[in-house]
Chain A
């Protein structure tokens, strides 16, 4: 399961071993393992993804979202 599989409004927890995949700059913006992500919105052509993680509102491309593994919540 990755962020890319979430439906709008759903949440998940970023898994620890995503650490090597997530680029440093994304980590620095708060996208850390163990944190909850919520998918707020998907842009009209299914890309990019608009997420809220660790208090930050970020947009990332689907190719990135597809790489970040999560455990789905709820």
Chain B
């Protein structure tokens, strides 16, 4: 068989040009998400067969308006295209533009073209041309831009074959720069630049000069040379401005000769919709309804598959126990691994539904209107309109939410957003809330329509948001950081969402969560199981001790087993740890078993339910296990004789879980995003104190 050659292709383009759609068309499900080394921006890479002998490895770079980055995400584009030792450094670049905003899209194209790499222009959304009254002279445009151009419609899947055909010829593409910046700006200066770096294209050298701070791949000697050239910051800034104006001049000239748009068509619709969606009353009402719909579906729709999953894993565990040969491995599987996996799988419905909504709202262009509507309000709390999306995403998981805050330009606004995100009710809290609410709040209706359990859950969500807002205000007033911000957002055209894009987005985000968080949860469940089924001296002699204790009491075999098991748990490693912290948590209304669950959910709160499940299933060894909820409900406080999970204890636990920072994954990501341990530690300690105090007050209030 013939050996396949591989070309690396970088996909670059303005946001909303359909880059993702094109990527999905080219690669289908053959994509994977990795991380850029050192930073945690998702890097999407996919494979595509160009011809029998040629395979393309396509890298989808973050959307950007210019190669000059203003955010962290955008600096990846710069690094990938300038740094030859970057593993993603491409053999050729595809710049995605779209028919309607061609002028602005061509700015980025002109910058990339000047890097003198093989570059292809893809003009997307060809299907929209007639409707928008757009037409252009393709051949003439090719000539003017010195570049091959392919017209495609990623949505209608047209032009994709032509695109692949053209890619085969990439070695023959014209790599002449498009704009010769030097003569228009300062010929003398650029001559010096050219002489200093004769090996580079002039534009690449210019980018290195202007973006030195964003290029950490350069050697010290190289940095030295650059420092000489960019010493005069004012001059550099001025030249950058000139350069941009010059580029737009060239582009305007070219488009003037080749491109016609009849602007009056189809802008009416956008105008009318904007009026309604950003209206001072309707705008907020609509946004509130959208939020309500999202939360409603997270509770209502997701609860059906979640109950099924819960029941399935309980049965599965029993089945494994009954059918596998007895022994340590069976126990590990039935009590450690199966509940552990169940604890991860149970999140899928909620995460998927949440990302479904977010992705639809982004695809349609509505999210930008939300940013517009909310910016002023959010600024009162020290955040930005762009903080709204991360805060909503935080209701699924804080980790992607914190990453979504990357496009907030101002450091102070971004930092505050990152710090308060963990207060929003993430889906890891939901199973904890769900089970506690089911145990302590009666399933009653008030006023005929409102379900009391539902209302409690709603209250907890509001509590989370309130805590986030209040702490943001606090941070806003305390943090002394200069707030130099540039806030520009594009208001894209409204579009019908593409099902394919939404589907891929949901699959990808859910997968990333399962793999990321899943590893921690699974590992912890196994560790927990080990700690619960092993122990010191008194654990090993449990059988004899219990026999002695009961003396000549007449106990059935089952009762004896139960007593032994609970004695064992008490003296297992984890039991000893639980007992150790009992004095501290007693004022909150917890016993050592809850203490065990607290310890084990320190790293990931969702482990709480799994931990209790493990504890009670270890304890009920040999018995019919039933679901977690049944087991917890049957638990009795040995001192008061009341139910263990009664109102005061339950409420106190709810408060604790609402506020405490129990998520290693989040702490790690905050450390990475803020480049300092200071902020995650602040979160951990601050939220911990708040959690303890509010649980204490709540417990005493309800007792």
Binding site for B on A (CB under 8 A): 19-20, 22-30, 32-33, 40-41, 43-48, 50, 54-61, 64
Q: Shortest CB–CB separation between residue B22 and chain A, in angstroms? A: 21
Closest-by-CB residue of B relative to A56 is B104
Decide if A43 touches B248 in the complex (CB within 8 Å). Answer: no
The A-contacting residues of B in range 203-244, CB under 8 angstroms, are: 237-238, 240-241, 244
* Chain A residue at minimal CB-CB distance from B490: A58
* In the complex, B53 has a CB within 8 A of chain A: no
Within 8 A of A (CB), among B234-282: 237-238, 240-241, 244-245, 248, 271, 274-275, 278-280
Known: A54-B103, A57-B491. A25 touches B486 (CB 8 A): yes
Say which residue of B68, B245, B248, B492 sits within 8 Å of A57 (CB atoms): B492
Among A28, A32, A59, A61, point to the contact of B65 (Cβ < 8 A). Answer: A28
Instruction: Please state if A57 and B275 are interface contacts (CB–CB under 8 Å).
Output: no
Listed from nearest, the 10 A-B pairs whose CB atoms lie closest are A44-B280, A45-B376, A28-B66, A57-B491, A47-B376, A27-B244, A25-B70, A61-B487, A59-B372, A59-B489
- In the complex, which of the residues B280, B373, B385, B490 contacts A56, with contact meaning CB atoms closer than 8 Å? B490
- Contact across chains for A41 and B488 when beta carbons are under 8 A apart: no
Q: Closest residue to B281 on the A side, CB-wise? A: A44
A25 CB contacts on chain B under 8 angstroms:
65-66, 68, 70, 486, 488
The answer to whether B274 and A40 touch across the interface, beta carbons within 8 angstroms, is yes
Q: Across the interface, do A26 and B491 meet the contact criterion of CB distance under 8 Å?
A: no
* In the assembled complex, B371 has its CB within 8 A of some CB on chain A: yes
Tell me whether A43 and B488 are in contact (CB under 8 A). no
B426 within 8 A of A: no
Residue of B nearest to A40 (CB): B274
List residues of chain B with CB under 8 Å of any chain A CB: 65-66, 68, 70, 101, 103-104, 107, 237-238, 240-241, 244-245, 248, 271, 274-275, 278-280, 283-284, 368, 371-373, 375-377, 385, 485-493
Of chain A, the residue at the smallest CB distance from B108 is A28
A48 / chain B contacts, CB cutoff of 8 Å: 372, 375-376, 385, 487
Q: How far is the CB of A4 from chain B (nearest CB, A)?
A: 14
- Interfacial chain B residues near A55, Cβ < 8 Å: 101, 103-104
With a cutoff of 8 Å between Cβ atoms, the chain B residues found around residue A29 in the complex are 65, 104, 488, 490
With A56-B490, A57-B493 known, 14 other A-B pairs at CB within 8 A are A20-B238, A24-B237, A25-B65, A26-B488, A29-B488, A29-B490, A30-B103, A41-B274, A43-B376, A44-B279, A48-B385, A56-B104, A58-B489, A60-B487
B372 contacts A24, C-beta separation under 8 Å: no
| Chain A neighbourhood of B237, CB < 8 A | 24
Q: Cβ of A59 and Cβ of B368 under 8 Å apart?
A: yes
Pairs across A and B, CB under 8 Å, 26 listed = A19-B241, A20-B241, A24-B66, A25-B65, A29-B65, A29-B104, A29-B488, A29-B490, A30-B103, A32-B245, A44-B278, A44-B284, A48-B375, A48-B376, A48-B385, A50-B274, A54-B104, A54-B248, A55-B104, A57-B491, A58-B488, A58-B489, A59-B372, A59-B375, A61-B375, A64-B488
B278 / chain A contacts, CB cutoff of 8 Å: 41, 43-44, 50
Most buried by A among B101, B238, B279, B488: B488
Of the candidates B107, B248, B274, B377, the one having the most CB atoms from chain A within 10 angstroms of its own CB is B248
Chain A residues within 8 Å of B240, by CB: 24
CB <8 Å contact, A23 and B486: yes
CA–CA, A48 and B386, complex, Å:
12
Least Cβ distance of A45 to chain B in Å? 4
Nearest-Cβ distance from residue A27 to partner chain B, whole angstroms:
5
Question: In the complex, what distance in Å separates the CA atom of A22 from the CA atom of B489?
Answer: 15
Q: What residues of B have a CB within 8 angstroms of the CB of A56 in the complex?
A: 101, 104, 490
Which A residues are CB-close (under 8 A) to B377?
45
Quote the shortest CB–CB distance from B122 to chain A (angstroms): 20
Indicate if the CB atoms of B275 and A41 lie closer than 8 Å.
Answer: yes
With a cutoff of 8 Å between Cβ atoms, the chain B residues found around residue A30 in the complex are 103-104, 107, 248
- CB neighbours (8 Å) of A22 from chain B are 241
Contact A27–B245 (Cβ < 8 Å): yes
Contacts of B68 in A (CB 8 A): 24-25, 28
Kindly list chain A residues whose C-beta atoms are within 8 Å of the C-beta of B66: 24-25, 28
CA distance A41 to B6 in the complex (A): 49
